[in-house]
Structures are given as structure tokens and as C-alpha cells.
Amino acid sequence: MDYALMQRVFPFFLEAAWITIVLSVLTAILGLTCAMLGTAARLSRFRMLRFIGATYVSVFRGTPALIQLFILYFGGPQIGIQLDAFEAGVIGLGVNVGAYMTETMRGAIISVDKGQGEAARTLGMSKWQAMRNVILPQAMRLMIRPLGVNLNTLIKSTALVAAISVVELTYTAQRYIGSTYKPFEMFLIAGLLYMIIIYVVGLAVTWADRKARLN
Amino acid sequence: MNAQKPFIDIRHAKKSFGTLEVLKDINLQVDRGQIVAIIGPSGSGKSTLLRAINDLDPLSGGEIWLEDKQINMDLPHRQYERHINEVRQEIGMVFQHFNLFPHLKVRENVTLAPKMLKGLSDAEANALAEEQLTKVGMIERIDYYPSQLSGGQKQRVAIARALAMKPKVMLFDEATSALDPELVEEVNLVMKQLAEEHMTMIIVTHEMGFAESVCDRVLFMDQGVVVEEGPPEVIFRNPKSERTQNFLRKHLAGNQA
Ligand SMILES: Nc1ncnc2c1ncn2[C@@H]1O[C@H](COP(=O)(O)OP(=O)(O)OP(=O)(O)O)[C@@H](O)[C@H]1O
Ligand SMILES: [Mg+2]
């Protein structure tokens, strides 16, 4: 192994890791937003909204994220959507992970005991008051861990945007391989940095989960 | 006094789940302060009837009135929601499995709805919670979480939570069925106390002894119809219907086994 080379390129990988982190954070925010809307739609009393929610989930979970990115980035201009690679990456991955998170949130909400909502309604609360004060606080605790799993998947799938040439970790590794012909070293650095990001996020999720369970 | 309408008036109540007819033309009138027990075999529709009263399981046909207000009115969705939320504030319900809010302490379980729905201040709501919890003997546990309570204690808190809304009627759906035998009595005592205060109550129960000692009237339901109703001494000692006799005989045998 060429340690000297690894040391030389490491600062550039750190910069790329920063891009991966920014990309992950923005994607997670967009994903959570989509998921809240998706969950509201899926649990709506309007059949049309339920249908839209279910279609969103099955389309975005039923096709490869890479194809979704390609359609958005390469196909977009054909229908008048001009995005730079980073924007396309955030939007493509965010909407994609939102579909998975929708199912996570919905699953947590519907697994809160039915008696909870009934007790709240019996006291005279409206559907929304019962949701807001009784069901959601309990569902939140149930969804932290599975949302953490979604987040983990999301961080790893940011590697896909290398395919539309966003200069994040994976793309950077590929670029240095082009000039150094050392794929083993380059991918090793990239993998290590992914691992650190994911480890830290995992710790945060575990911490949040434990904190939610304590009270 | 002029001829009064019944306090609760259930007329021709019908309910189907799909093709299954669970309630077939049920009529029930309850006067203010009256205590009615509903007994009957599993699946006879007791819970469904009780849940229809506050519209958790809306009827397929018939009418339910509380004083001069029809509960199951035909209204556009938004108006209906507003109407039913108001009605439900007047009807307390106690469930077999307590359904306390596990993320809230005992105090907040009791204060949540009054604060939200009646605009009580924190101080007012606290005083109310303390009053109701004292009544059910749970004041010492006011800062506990439900998970730290026994079943009997949970049920007493659930009763306090319902009472805090100052309901006109209390509905009990097998309030003691999920309890260990030695915890049943503490809940029964609270219910007896409510009876002494002339709370109007409809009690679905499998405890014939309790029904006999507390209730003014007993309804025997089977397969979605009221087979027989009358004062407890008649229903339990001298039932006319063969179905009632059979049920009570089996029930007694089951309890002694
Ligand atoms: N939500 C529902 N969907 C379909 N069927 C239902 C539903 N709720 C109740 N039923 C059916 O309606 C019938 C009456 O049920 P109900 O719960 O009212 O009986 P019950 O007299 O309270 O019995 P138990 O003593 O076991 O509580 C049963 O056959 C039950 O399976
Ligand atoms: Mg029942």
C-alpha cells in the first residue's frame, strides 16, 4: 500500500467528505419533508390523497434510485427542468428517501395502539388534537430507530450521485484513480470516511432513541 | 312533573360489519341517575352498543339521543366532527384495557383534555386532577407514569381522567375484566361510589354479583338483540327467557370451575 500517496490525497478526500455530509443533510431534510407530506396523504380521509401517497411510495421504491437520478438530471432538460448536478442529486435522492421514510412514519403511527386514539376521541378531542397530543408523541419514539436505518441507507446512496458527476467522496475516489491508478488505496480512504460518517450518525440515532425512551 | 324524555334514548339501533348483523333493532331508555348493566355472551354486541353511544362505532341505522340532543346526526363532515366532539365531552368512557396515555404522567393524563377542550388554566386543571385523583384514591401516584401502576390503579386513573371532563354519563366496557382478581374490588368500589352520587351509568360486565348489587336494571343481550331486561333481582333470580337462564347457568358453572 502506498501510504505516502494516501497521506497526500487525504485532505482532498476530507473536502469531498464534507460535500457528502452537506448532501446527506440536505437530502435528509428534503426526505423528511416529503415523508411528512406523504404520510399525511396516506392517512388522509380523502381517497384521492391516499391514492397519490400510495403511488408516490410505490413509484419511488419500485424503481432504482440511479434511474430516478438519471431521469431527473439527463432527462430533465428535455422537459424544461434545468438543474445542476448537486441540485439534481439533492432533489433526486431526497424525494427517493422520502418514499421510504413515508412508510417508516406511517408504520410507526399505525402501530400505536388503536385504543389510544379512541381514548382521546372519547374525551372529545378532534382527530388532529388526538394525533398531535396522543398518537404522534408515541409514534415519534417508535420511528426514531427505523428512520435511523433510512438515514444510514441515504448516506450510502449519496455515492450514486457520482454518476452524475457531483464531486463527493465516491466521485473524488474515482477521479484520483484516473490519475494515480491506485484503486485499492483510493476506495479504501473513501470507504473509511463513509464509515466514520455513518458511525457518528448511528451514535446520534442511538442517543436520540434512548433519550426518547427515557421519558 | 310533565312526562320527561329519557336521559339516554336508543331507538331501533342497527349495526352491521359487512354482512354481519351485530345489533338488530336495539331499544334502550335510561333515565338520569339510572345505572344499567348489560350482560350477555361474548360476541353478542355489548361493546358495539356501548361504542355506538359515543359514536366510536357509528350505527348503520337508528337514533341515539342524549337529553334533547341527537348524537348520531346526519351532518356534513366538518359540522359532524364539531358536533360529535362536543357530545363526547359529556360522555365518559372506560375501557377494558384502560388506554391511559403512556407518555404522560398520571397528572397529565387527567389534565390534558380539560386544558385543551375547556380552556382550563394550569392551576385550575391541576386542582381538578387532584380532586378527581383523590376521589379514586390515586392522589399519591399523581407524578407516576402509567407503566409504574398496577392494573387496578391504571383503571382508577382512567376513571378519574373521564370524570375530569364532568360527563353526564359514564360508560364502562368490562372495566375489570383485564384485572387480576385481587384488584377488581378497588375498581368496583370506585364505581359504587359513583353510583351513590347518582351518576348515570351503562356498565357492560361479566360480574353478575357486582351488577346485582349496583345496578337498577339489567339487560341481557344475545346475538344482537335484547333478549330480556328488568330489575336485577328478576333477571338474576327469575329470568323468563330460556336463553337468559342458560347463559346464567353456564356463567355460574364457569365461575365455580
Ligand atoms: N370492527 C369490527 N369489524 C368487524 N366485526 C366486528 C368489529 N367489531 C366487532 N365485530 C363483531 O361484532 C360482534 C359483536 O362484537 P362485540 O365486541 O360488540 O361483542 P361483545 O358482546 O362486546 O363481546 P365480548 O364479551 O367478547 O366483549 C362480534 O361477532 C365481533 O366479531
Ligand atoms: Mg366487548
User: Average pLDDT of chain B?
Assistant: 92
How far is the alpha carbon of B80 from chain A, nearest alpha carbon, in Å?
A: 11
Q: What's the whole-number mean pLDDT along residues B32-61?
A: 94
Which residue, A35, A62, A12, A31, is CA-closest to A175? A12
Residue with cell 360476541: B43
Tens-of-pLDDT digits for all 215 residues of chain A? 888 888 889 999 999 999 999 999 999 999 999 999 999 999 999 999 999 999 999 999 999 999 999 999 999 999 999 999 999 999 999 999 999 999 999 999 999 999 999 999 999 999 999 999 999 999 999 999 999 999 999 999 999 999 998 989 998 999 989 888 999 989 999 999 999 999 999 999 999 999 888 76
Closest-approach residue (CA) in chain A for B103: A138
DSSP track, chain A: --HHHHHHHHHHHHHHHHHHHHHHHHHHHHHHHHHHHHHHHHT-S-HHHHHHHHHHHHHHHSS-HHHHHHIIIIIGGGGT----HHHHHHHHHHHHHHHHHHHHHHHHHHTS-HHHHHHHHHTT--HHHHIIIIIHHHHHHHHHHHHHHHHHHHHHHGGGGGGGT--SHHHHHHHHHHHH--HHHHHHHHHHHHHHHHHHHHHHHHHHHHHHHH-
8 A C-beta contact, residue B153 and residue B162 = no
The pLDDT of residue B1 is above 50: no
What is the band of B2 on the pLDDT scale with cuts at 50, 70, 90?
A: very low
State the pairing for strand pair B35-39/B200-204. Answer: parallel
Identity (one letter) of the amino acid at A74?
F
CATH of the domain at A152: 1.10.3720.10
- Which H or E run contains B150? none
pLDDT tens for residues A99-119? 999 999 999 999 999 999 999
Out of A119, A126, A215, whose CB is closest to B99?
A119
State the pairing for strand pair B61-66/B225-230. Answer: unpaired
Q: What's the whole-number mean pLDDT along residues B42-69?
A: 93
Give the structural domain span for A102: 3-214
Count of domains for chain A: 1
pLDDT tens for residues B77-105? 999 999 999 999 999 999 999 999 999 99
pLDDT tens for residues A151-182? 999 999 999 999 998 989 998 999 989 888 99
Atom of ligand 1 nearest to the CA of B50: 18
Atom of ligand 1 nearest to the CA of B46: 21
What is the band of B255 on the pLDDT scale with cuts at 50, 70, 90?
A: low
8 A C-beta contact, residue B31 and residue B6 = yes
How far is the alpha carbon of A44 from chain B, nearest alpha carbon, in Å?
A: 14
- pLDDT score of A213: 81
Which of left, alpha, beta for B224 (phi over 0: left; psi -120 to 50: alpha)? left
Decide: helix, strand or coil at residue B79: helix
